[in-house]
Amino acid sequence: MKVVLDTNVVVSGTFFGGVPSEIVDAAKRGVVAFCVSAEIVMEYQEILLRFAGPGSEADVAIILDGLLENATVVTPVELPSQISADRDDDMFIACALAAGADIIVSGDKHLLDLQGRLPVQVMKPREALARIRTAT
10: Cβ–Cβ under 8 A, 6 or more apart, which residues? 20, 24, 44, 47, 48, 67
The string of pLDDT tens digits covering residues 103-119 is 999 999 999 999 999 99
Superfamily the domain 2-135 falls into:
5'-nuclease (3.40.50.1010)
DSSP letter at 130? H
Q: Using pLDDT thresholds of 50, 70 and 90, give the confidence band for residue 136.
A: confident
Q: Which residues pair with 54 in a beta bridge?
A: none
pLDDT digits (tens, 9 = 90+) for 60-89: 999 999 999 999 999 999 999 999 999 999
**pTM score:** 0.95
Longest dimension (CA), the chain: 42
Main-chain dihedrals φ then ψ at residue 36, nearest 5 degrees: -140, 165
Residue 43 amino acid letter: E
What's the Cα-to-Cα distance from 3 to each of 24, 71, 91, 118, 122, rounded to whole Å?
11, 10, 14, 14, 10
- Residues ≥6 apart with Cβ < 8 Å to 106: 5, 6, 8, 9, 89, 92, 112, 122, 123, 124
